[in-house]
Every structure is written in structure tokens, then in C-alpha cells.
Amino acid sequence: MQTALVLGGGGVTGVAWELGLLAGLVERGVPVTGADLVVGTSAGSVVGAQVCSGLPVEQFYEEQLVPPSSEMAARLGFVALARLVWAGGRTRDAVRSRARIGAMAVAARTPSEASRRAVIEARLPARDWPARRLLITAVDAATGEFVVFDRDSEVSLVDAVGASCAVPGVWPPVTVGTRRYVDGGMRSSVNADLAAHAQRVLVIAPTSAAFGPMPRLSAQVAGLRAAGSRVAVVTPDATARTAIGRNVLDPARRAGAARAGRAQAATVVDEVTDLWV
């Protein structure tokens, strides 16, 4: 496997920033959206499904500039964050930590699964898994098991993306069969280690935050490099962080985040070109 594109979590503004960055890189002649493998976590699962659809990334970027109509406004405020950290940070056992987060998510009052599924469907240009290899991450809410969905998982693309985006305490866990799943970012905000064996790996990470026993992005990148992969990591610059703001779940900030991502492409294009071309 030659190339891998790893897309991390970061809310609706993370989706917008990633799409802006990708559109800016493609505009400058760096075909990163054609990676052999795409790994998507939370916001990155949305972007991954979009870029693997075969449609131009420019189309998805332009959609971020339009006032949101199908998105639900939400807030991951201090109290919700504190509950999340408290639930997952009381043990060094990563699986137990995630199971506690899952229990908190199941007990939380959230919008209905059906209403949230409609939002996810509106984000996706296709309902079928792409031919290209796309990995989407989630966590089993009951057991804390880390799960990676792909086209062979017998899980619909909408449900896989919905599960990966199911922020505990904000959105409902996604039911697939007899299991319920929450955000893949509860294992890692990026899950870059899933790109192992790729010769060249581009990691686009709206956030690299970690708490409790979560693996750090820096450790995952070090592991990839130790195994022989060439890796470049792009995170929001100061202008993008300002555009994204404190509430990454605020749809009103999508356009600003998208434009900031596109502008940032100009500052990272040389580094990414050296890796990719």
C-alpha cells in the first residue's frame, strides 16, 4: 500500500476545516484525496466517505459555505466535557475507560436516533460503501471494544458514519443489530495507527486532544515512522483555531472554518507535496 489519508475528529467545524484544507491542496496539484487507504474518525468519517465517493472535493467545500439547514446545533460545553473526562479518566485500562464512557452515553438525554440519522444521511453523497478502502472507527458502548467498520462489515455506511460521530452525552449511540456504538474518537481522536504498512501517510487532525489512557497522536505517528512510513501531520494553525472557535459543534462556524482550512493549504503545500508526489 502506497498512500494513506488519515482524517481525525473535530465536530462540524472539523469537517469544514478538513474539506477546506483538502480542497486547497487539490487546487495546488496535490492529489491527496486519491489515497489508497482512507481512515476516518468522527468528523473524519464524514469527510472520508465524501472524498471516497468519486465526487470532487471542491463540491463538498462549497457546501460548507452555504448556511446549514439540516444540521442540529449542539454544544460540548464544560459540564459535558467534565463528565466525559470523569467517566473515561478514572482508570488506566483503556477498554474499561471506553466502556464507562459508553455507559454515560447510553444514559444521557439526547435527540432521537432517527433524527440524528437523518442529519448523517444528508451529509453523505452516497449510501453505499465505496470501492476504495475506507476504514471508519467506532466504540462498542457496552464493552468498550474498539471497532473498525469497512465495506465487509455488513454495516451500512450511514450507520458506520453515524456511530463514528456519536459524541457521548451529545448525540445518541447508534444501534446496529443488538449492539450500540459511540464515537471512534473515544479510542483516539485520530487513530493514525490504522495506517500501518502505508509507505506515505498524511494525517489531518482538527484536534489531537487525549485524556486518560487514550493513545496520543505523537505516539501513533512515532510508531508509524519506526515501522518505515513517511508521515506528515497537519493541525489547525492560529487563524484556523480562531475560525473554529470553542464550540466545534456549532454549524454557524462551518464557513469560516472551511475558508481557514483552504487558506492554510498554502502554508503546508510544500511539506505535503514532498510527502505525496
Asked whether 212 and 81 are in contact (CB, 8 A), the reply is: no
Report domain extents, the chain.
3-72+110-276
Sign, CA dihedral 156-111-120-188, equals negative
Query: Which percentage of the chain shows pLDDT scores above 70?
Result: 94
Residues 120, 275: Cα–Cα separation, whole Å: 32
Amino acid at 23: A
Tell me what pLDDT residue 60 has. Answer: 98
Asked whether 229 and 201 are in contact (CB, 8 A), the reply is: yes
SS3 content of the chain, % helix, strand, coil (to 5): 45, 15, 40
**DSSP class of residue 92?**
S
**What is the CATH topology of the domain spanning 3-72+110-276?**
Cytosolic phospholipase A2 catalytic domain (3.40.1090)
Tell me what pLDDT residue 48 has. Answer: 98
Residues 166, 172: Cα–Cα separation, whole Å: 6
What is the rounded average pLDDT for all residues in the chain? 93
Is residue 10's pLDDT more than 60? yes
Residues 71, 58: Cα–Cα separation, whole Å: 20
Backbone angles phi, psi at 39, to 5 degrees: -115, 125
Is residue 271's pLDDT more than 60? yes
| Confidence label for 223 from pLDDT (cuts 50, 70 and 90) | very high
More confident residue, 140 or 126: 140
How far are the Cα atoms of 13, 50, 156, 224 from residue 10, in angstroms, in the given order? 7, 16, 22, 22
Is residue 219's pLDDT more than 70? yes
Q: How many CB atoms lie within 10 A of CB 137?
A: 28
Mean pLDDT across 144-153: 97
Tell me what pLDDT residue 73 has. Answer: 74
Amino acid at 2: Q
Residues 71, 232: Cα–Cα separation, whole Å: 32
Tell me what pLDDT residue 106 has. Answer: 94
- pLDDT (tens digit per residue) in 74-132: 766 555 665 666 665 566 788 998 999 999 999 988 999 999 999 999 999 989 999 99
Amino acid at 81: L
Q: Report how many helices (DSSP H) and strands (DSSP E) the chain contains, helices first.
A: 10, 8
Residues 235, 186: Cα–Cα separation, whole Å: 19
- pLDDT (tens digit per residue) in 33-85: 999 999 999 999 999 999 999 999 999 999 999 988 777 777 665 556 656 66
Asked whether 190 and 8 are in contact (CB, 8 A), the reply is: yes
Is residue 24's pLDDT more than 60? yes
Q: How many CB atoms lie within 10 A of CB 90?
A: 12
The residue written with cell numbers 489531537 in the block is: 208
**CA nearest neighbour of 231 among 189, 194, 185:** 194
Tell me what pLDDT residue 30 has. Answer: 97
Is residue 26's pLDDT more than 90? yes
Q: What is the pTM of this model?
A: 0.94
Is residue 212's pLDDT more than 60? yes
Which grid coordinates belong to 164?
Answer: 463514528
Query: Which percentage of the chain shows pLDDT scores above 90?
Result: 83
| Confidence label for 136 from pLDDT (cuts 50, 70 and 90) | very high
Tell me what pLDDT residue 185 has. Answer: 94
Tell me what pLDDT residue 18 has. Answer: 98
Bridge pairing between strands 200-204 and 230-234: parallel
Tell me what pLDDT residue 1 has. Answer: 65
User: Which residues are annotated as catalytic?
Assistant: 42, 183
Q: Is 202 left (phi over 0), alpha (psi -120 to 50) or beta?
A: beta
Tell me what pLDDT residue 139 has. Answer: 98
